[in-house]
Structure 1
Amino acid sequence: MVSRSRVRRVWEQLEHAYGPATDVPDLLAQVHDPVTAPAAIGELNANVYHNGEVVHSAAPALLPALLDLAEDPTVTVRRAIVETIGDLAHAARTAEPTAVDEAWPQAWAAAVPRLLHLLADPDVEVRRVVTFPLAHAVGHEVWPHLRDRFKAEPDHAARLGLVVAIGHHAEPDAHDWFTGLLPDPTVRLAASVGLRRLGITPDARLLLNGFADVSAWADTWCVGSPRPSAVVWWLNRELADDHAVRRTLVAHLLDHPDPDIRTGALWSSAPLLADDTSTTDTNLLPLIADRLPDDEPENRRLAATLLASTGARSADTLTPFADDLALAARDLYLPAADAALAALALLGDQRAVQPLQQRLTGPRLGLPTRPRHRPWTPPPLDEVLLAMSAHADALLPAVRARLSSTSDDAERAACHRALDSWHTNA
């Protein structure tokens, strides 16, 4: 029997993100206890995977122990264990080669057959997530095993995960298999993504048809969120540089009956707006403006904030939506009203004067005073006031009142910048 002190000495020679991996044996022992297991596997993941930029020397040594736990039906956190294996496999694929410990490839080659065995595990949670590490077993002959398991797999989420994992291997031989799945609406979205990874631009109509029911994606390894918006975000990430398809997809989903899918479309619009132009049929700005009166308050905020962010780059783009923004600036959901008011002010619109006066003299300013984190915060106070220079006389008393009442240094600095600019341009 190996003594605890000898085990400790072994792990002292190995490193994870926080130094010597001496805590690993105790954490592995805690994973066997249902009470301590969730925290223990979480700490193991944080220590060994960390931010995914390095595969430390502790990772290949830990991998067989993680597999032992993943194969043990008495362990209560098997899904989290397999996810940790997937995180390490992902890191090994994406990190700089010099950042991957030299022992990892051999340890990983020994792990792949054991992971393949878990494809038929009785626990559906394990089957749903084991395709995560197997998706990153590129260079190993796994895609035929994934394909064959698809025929026998009864769980919808696990089937989706199998298709997505096969796509990660980008095997040319899988082309016909993916194509054969397209008529099935339950896996059409996953099959289209698989074809995309083979270099075939998906038909946007097929992708849209896949949004008839996205509930099963909540339990997949690649989306793993109960919110339908996560499917939209994941798909946009998969489509990467297919901007035309992404615009078409988002443009249609902005009007989807599910409010959370509309949320996902709004989130996914942000990286596209910089590429959008008013001369294309897929211009997103009018469709985003249509969401200013959305039934979901947070969607109204997102729409107004996107417009404000776009207007900060080019105020003229907001001119067609001035009336919509003026109405939205009166939204009872104040975060939405804040963003709409900021966008309206960027136009220098007279209708922004009174609400700005109220914000400056009231208890709630509602506008950031520090540099914004585009595109999800409205333009800061100084940008808004500078854009309203044509109405400086009307706003001057309110700005001075704010200066006399606030002790916030950032607010005071923003007001002084506006006053200095108004004075210079007077």
Structure 2
Amino acid sequence: MLDRLDEVPWSSLDHAYGPADDVPGQLRALRSPDADERGRAVSALYGNVFHQGTRFPASAHAVPFLLELVAAPDTPDREVLLGLLTAIAIGYDESHLPGTVPIAEYRRAAAGGAALLPDADFFEHRESLPEDDQDRLFAHVTVAAYDAVKAGVPLFRTLLADPDPGVRCQAAYALAWFPEEAEGSVAALTGPLDPDEIAAATAVVATGLLGGTPVADDRRLVRWGRAIATRDVPELLRWAGSADQGDDRIPFLGGDLAGLAASALPERAEVLDALLARVPHVSGVEALPVVGEALRRTEDDPDGRRRLLEVLAATPAVWLLGGRRFGNFVTLLAGHGVPHDIEALREYLG
């Protein structure tokens, strides 16, 4: 296990904090019998090879070893490692949902980036490049990480039959993001639905993102997943306007069921009503997709925009995360030209 780990020149590969010399120890710690040690290693890897959604030259090199760990049935916390692999591949999924990764676009952006890779000092080299070359370099690094995880698609398909429902769920989630492998993945995902409701709902959403048609099922979360997959407007409206608090066992959008339903809705007038009904029931991270979608839909609708702002002004909780004003929410409002302080918004509305 991990026999070739020391063959990688980690000291000449950078992650978010510089040379990646610490990555081998973190990867080995993922096999530790000590749960705290494993947890620290996972947190460190999320911080260095996946730092706030950014990937680095070391990221792609860590992936084969993570895949090796996931493939071993006696590795602890395999569902957690599958989540890390997916994050390395795609960043944050809200950047893509309600679609999958636009990989053809990413590959075009990365063209020529490989030739710009330095032998060392990635960050210093990047700063020395013109802006367009910096973009190509980062696009190449991102696609390299994505392709490293893509090599695990056959493994992810086999893990759909794993005894652990958490592993099956995370394997289905991972498959959703590789549209170039859609044919084989849809075939794997559309067999008999998983007896575990969370894994089944995740597989149904993944099937839809890859262009397949999932089978029907009466279980509540599977009905939600099928509405996402098939763009079933009446069902999506029910979910988008509900006070459902979500289910963080669903990996898509952190389990924000109503938020993903809202983002999957087509452009119809009643959709805004459903979104506005949902706003008072969300805060923190859950508020971002709901309010973001409502802002997008009211860009050219002054009456609708005012209705949205009135709801925001009347709902202080929507601005908060953990009882404090949420910076990402404030940034979202500012990006749409909305007063990003509740008192200023109330004054603006008169």
State whether TM-score is above 0.5: yes
Letter in 1 for 2:80: A
Distance, in Å, in 2 between the alignment partners of 1:3 and 1:208 is: 52
- CA distance in structure 2 between the partners assigned to 1:37 and 1:193 by the alignment: 35
Counterparts of 2:161 and 2:56 in 1: how far apart (Å)? 28
Structure 1: give runs of 5+ residues left out of the alignment. 197-201, 316-337, 350-426
CA distance in 2, matches of 1:2, 1:156: 34
Q: Normalising by the residue count of structure 2, what TM-score does the alignment of the two structures yield?
A: 0.65
Q: Residues 269 and 73 (structure 1 numbering): CA distance in 2 closer, same or farther, change over 3 Å?
A: same
1:194-253 residue CA offsets vs partner (Å, 9 max, x unmatched): 234xxxxx42x221334679577421110334xxxx3333333444x7364641431454
Structure 1 letter corresponding to 2:179: V
The 2-side partners of 1:169 and 1:243 are apart by: 24
Letter of the aligned partner of 1:156 in structure 2? E
User: Which residue of the other structure, out of 163, 166, 170, is the alignment partner of 2:204?
Assistant: 163
1:208 corresponds to which of 227, 231, 237: 237
Which residue identity lines up with residue 85 of structure 1 in the other structure? L
Q: Answer yes or no: is the 8 Å Cα contact 1:163–1:194 preserved in 2.
A: yes
Per-residue CA distance 1:155-210 (angstroms, 9 max, x = gap)? 1111111111112212xxx2xx34x53887543332232234xxxxx42x221334
Measured in 2, the distance between the counterparts of 1:314 and 1:287 equals 11
Give a deviation string over 1:80-100, Cα, whole Å, max 9, x none: 211111012215945842333
Alignment of 1:308-319 (within 5 A): none
Going from structure 1 to structure 2, the CA distance change for 1:114 and 1:55 (only over 3 Å counts) comes to farther
Q: Cα offset for 1:29? A: 1.5
Higher relative contact order, structure no. (Cα contacts within 8 Å, ≥ 6 residues apart): 2
- Across the aligned residues of Structure 1 and Structure 2, the Cα RMSD in angstroms comes to 4.4
Measure, in 2, the Cα distance between the counterparts of 1:144 and 1:237. Answer: 26
Residue by residue over 1:99-128, the C-alpha shift from the partner in whole angstroms, topping out at 9 and shown as x without a partner, is: 335866774454111111111222222222
- Aligned counterpart for 2:167 among listed residues 122, 126, 135: 126
Alpha carbons of 1:288 and 1:41: their partners in 2 closer, same or farther (altered >3 Å)? Answer: same
Q: Which whole-Å CA distance do the structure 1 matches of 2:338 and 2:160 have between them?
A: 52
Instruction: Decide whether the 8 Å contact of 1:161 with 1:220 is kept in 2.
Output: yes
CA distance in 1: counterparts of 2:144 and 2:310, whole angstroms: 54
Matched with 2:136 is none
Residue equivalent to 2:300: 275
**Is the alpha carbon distance of 1:36 and 1:243 closer, same or farther for their aligned partners in structure 2, counting shifts above 3 Å?**
farther
Q: Is the 8 A contact 1:157 1:217 kept in 2?
A: no
Amino acid at match of 2:300: D
Q: Secondary structure of the residue that 1:36 maps to in structure 2?
A: helix
C-alpha spacing 1:23/1:243, structure 2 compared with 1 (3 Å): farther
DSSP-derived class of the 1:120 partner: coil
Residue 6 (structure 2) aligns with: 7
1:231 equivalenced with 2:260 (yes/no): no
> Which residue matches 2:25?
26
For residues 13-412 of structure 1, the aligned pairs below 5 Å read: 13-33=12-32, 34-54=35-55, 56=57, 58-91=58-91, 93=103, 96-97=109-110, 98=113, 99-101=139-141, 107-140=148-181, 141-148=184-191, 151-170=192-211, 174=212, 177-178=213-214, 181=216, 186-196=221-231, 202-203=232-233, 205-210=234-239, 217-225=247-255, 230-239=256-265, 242=267, 244=269, 246-253=271-278, 259-260=281-282, 264=287, 269-278=294-303, 283=304, 285-286=306-307, 289=310, 298=317, 339=342, 342=344, 345-346=347-348
* Contact 2:13–2:19 (CA under 8 A) maintained in structure 1: yes
Compute the displacement of 1:38 (Å).
1.0
**Maintained 8 Å contact 1:185/1:209:** no
Match of 1:122, SS state, is coil
Compute the displacement of 1:266 (Å): 5.7
Tell me by how many angstroms 1:9 deviates: 6.2
- 1:253-280 CA-to-partner distances (Å, cap 9, x unmatched) read 468xxx449x8556754444433333xx
Give the corresponding residue for 2:95: none
Task: Note if contact 1:185-1:210 (Cα within 8 Å) is conserved in structure 2.
Answer: no
Distance, in Å, in 1 between the alignment partners of 2:36 and 2:346 is 54
**TM-score, with normalisation over the residues of structure 1?**
0.55
Instruction: Count how many residue pairs are aligned between Structure 1 and Structure 2.
Output: 291
CA shift, 1:152, in A, is 3.9
- After superposition, the Cα gap between the structure-2 partners of 1:39 and 1:184, relative to the gap in structure 1 and judged at 3 Å, is closer
Aligned mates of 2:197, 2:279 — CA distance in 1: 26
